[in-house]
């Protein structure tokens, strides 16, 4: 039951979601579209086939689905894509979900973006209750940026970052570590993030989906760069202090003493984070993936559309969480196909 303004009185909230290993599911990443105005080499093929509109959840359906998870104890929602800010009328959804922030049932509403639309939306995001965003930038070299993103322009993203800062949004830069592509730039990125007041998170490339012509290698094995090695190398020039800071996501953070900013490391291959996983992902079609590195999934679109009542939806969600595995099966191997066949853009970045 919701009140007239769509919020959840405390007495009406249902039992929280807990998986078979005792992990409470408090963080949901929701893809609002599979479309993007970039074609990043580690995320999707250049010639992607996108989903027909009828398969995509409406903004109202996305709101209802997110709200069901909030009712079950989700404290953090992250909107992803594709590129979430290219979804038509996306701010209607963001503003609507903001009601859960105002009534205290949701702790944080965040967005992961490529930054291309931030100049347009930064002020609106802040007004809707978003306080923190992740922006994906893998290089500060404009030519290399164009090669990695295929369609992206670095000056457009920099303009968006300036708008985000002016709006008062906290910014974290996400960079996928790509061997032979950006592995010589991490010092420059640390210095730039320090000067801008941004945190930086480095991410190991994940074996998701077949890729083509990357410019840095044509297989995941050729792209892969161990962040354990990266940290050892950075430690020769920077003072990296272990800290307890957590955002609810998989990154482990250190403080860069010279800049005062944080450096996060997401290491699904060299040091997986499955033991404390509190996350699930929902695609723009309403498919729930209990683990990024597994193919098992649950269809939430059917129960969502079957009834205006949430009983069937709640039942489907709870049944799916009981199938959440202990960990992923990611393996980087030249001789093997990607561990998971779907592209990152399909799952939700």
Q: CA 321, 348, 68: angle at the middle one, nearest 5?
A: 45
29 to 62, 66, 79, 142, 182: CA distances (angstroms): 12, 9, 6, 30, 27
CB atoms within 10 A of CB 6: 14
Three-state helix/strand/coil letters over the chain: CCCCCCCCCHHHCCCCCECCCCCECCEEEEECCCCCCCCCCCCCCCCCCCCCHHHCCCHHHHHHHHHHHHHCCCCEEEEECCCHHHCCCHHHHHHHHHHHHHCCCCCEEEEEECCCCHHHHHHHHHHHCCCEEEEECCCCCHHHHHHHHCCCCHHHHHHHHHHHHHHCCEEEEEEEECCCCCCCCHHHHHHHHHHHCCEEEEEECCCECCCCCCCCCCCHHHHCCCHHHHHHHHCCCCCEEECCCCCCCCCEEEEECCCCCEEEEECCCCCCCHHHCCEEEECCCCEEECCCCCCCEEECHHHHHHCCCCHHHHHHHHHHHCCCCCCCCCCCCCCCCCCECCCHHHHCC
Q: What are the respective helix, strand and coil percentages of the chain, to the nearest 5?
A: 35, 20, 50
Q: Does 279 belong to an annotated binding site?
A: yes
CA distance 79 to 42: 20
Residue among 249, 226, 220, 221 nearest 343 (CA): 220
**What is the pLDDT, as a whole number, of residue 343?**
52
Q: Does 53 belong to an annotated binding site?
A: no
Q: Does 277 belong to an annotated binding site?
A: yes
C-alpha 95: how far from its chain's center?
19
Phi, psi of 70, rounded to the nearest 5 degrees: -60, -40
Q: Does 72 belong to an annotated binding site?
A: no
Q: Tens digit of pLDDT for each residue in 268-287?
A: 655 556 777 899 999 999 99
**What is the pLDDT, as a whole number, of residue 272?**
55
DSSP classification of residue 274: G
Domain ranges of the chain: 15-347
Q: Tens digit of pLDDT for each residue in 46-67?
A: 777 778 888 999 999 999 999 9
Q: Tens digit of pLDDT for each residue in 129-187?
A: 999 999 999 999 999 999 999 889 999 999 999 999 999 999 999 999 999 999 999 99
Q: Does 284 belong to an annotated binding site?
A: no
DSSP classification of residue 331: -
Q: Does 80 belong to an annotated binding site?
A: no
Distant-in-sequence, close-in-space partners of 192: CB < 8 Å, separation ≥ 6: 140, 198
Q: Does 1 belong to an annotated binding site?
A: no
Phi, psi of 262, rounded to the nearest 5 degrees: -100, 145
Q: Does 66 belong to an annotated binding site?
A: no
Whole-model pTM: value is 0.86
Residue among 120, 128, 147, 148 nearest 136 (CA): 148
**What is the pLDDT, as a whole number, of residue 211?**
47
**What is the pLDDT, as a whole number, of residue 342?**
46
Q: Does 323 belong to an annotated binding site?
A: no
Q: Which CATH number fits domain 15-347: 3.20.20.70, 1.25.40.340, 3.30.750.24, 3.40.50.300?
A: 3.20.20.70
**Taking the chain (349 residues) in consecutive chunks of 10 residues, what is each chunk's mean pLDDT?**
54 76 95 91 75 93 98 97 96 98 98 97 98 97 93 96 98 94 96 98 74 48 86 98 86 96 84 75 96 87 96 97 78 44 54
Residue among 154, 152, 159, 160 nearest 134 (CA): 160
**What is the pLDDT, as a whole number, of residue 14?**
73
**What is the pLDDT, as a whole number, of residue 246?**
85
Q: Which helix (H) or strand (E) holds 335?
A: none
Six token digits for residue 319: 């049944």
**What is the pLDDT, as a whole number, of residue 340?**
46
């Amino acid at each position: 039951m919701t009140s007239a303004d769509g919020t959840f009185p405390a007495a009406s909230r249902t039992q929280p979601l807990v998986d078979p290993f005792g992990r409470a599911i408090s963080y949901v990443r929701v893809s609002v579209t599979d479309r993007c105005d970039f074609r990043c080499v580690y995320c999707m093929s250049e010639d992607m086939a996108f989903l027909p509109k009828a398969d995509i959840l409406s903004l109202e359906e996305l709101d209802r689905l997110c709200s069901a998870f909030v009712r079950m104890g989700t404290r953090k929602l992250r909107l992803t894509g594709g590129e979430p800010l290219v979804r038509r009328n996306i701010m209607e959804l963001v503003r609507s979900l903001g009601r859960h922030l105002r009534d205290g049932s949701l702790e944080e509403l965040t967005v992961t973006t490529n930054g291309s639309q931030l100049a347009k939306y930064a002020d609106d995001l802040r007004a809707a209750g978003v306080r923190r965003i992740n922006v994906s930038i893998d290089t500060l070299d404009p030519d290399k940026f164009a090669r990695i993103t295929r369609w992206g322009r670095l000056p457009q993203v920099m303009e968006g970052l300036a708008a985000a800062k002016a709006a008062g949004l906290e910014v974290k830069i996400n960079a996928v570590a790509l061997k032979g592509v950006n592995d010589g730039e991490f010092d420059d990125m640390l210095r730039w993030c320090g000067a801008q007041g941004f945190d930086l998170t480095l991410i190991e490339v994940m074996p998701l989906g077949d890729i083509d012509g990357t410019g840095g290698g044509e297989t995941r094995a050729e792209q892969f760069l161990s962040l354990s090695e990266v940290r050892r190398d950075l430690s020769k020039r920077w003072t990296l202090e272990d800290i307890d800071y957590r955002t609810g996501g998989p990154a482990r953070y250190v403080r860069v003493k010279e800049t005062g900013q944080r450096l996060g490391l997401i290491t699904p291959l060299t040091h997986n984070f499955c033991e404390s996983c509190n996350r699930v992902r929902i695609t723009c079609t309403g498919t729930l993936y209990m683990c990024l590195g597994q193919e098992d999934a649950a269809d939430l679109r059917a129960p969502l559309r079957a009834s205006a009542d949430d009983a069937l939806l709640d039942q489907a969600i709870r049944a799916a969480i009981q199938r959440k595995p202990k960990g992923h099966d990611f393996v980087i191997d030249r001789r093997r196909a990607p561990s998971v066949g779907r592209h990152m853009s399909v799952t939700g970045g």
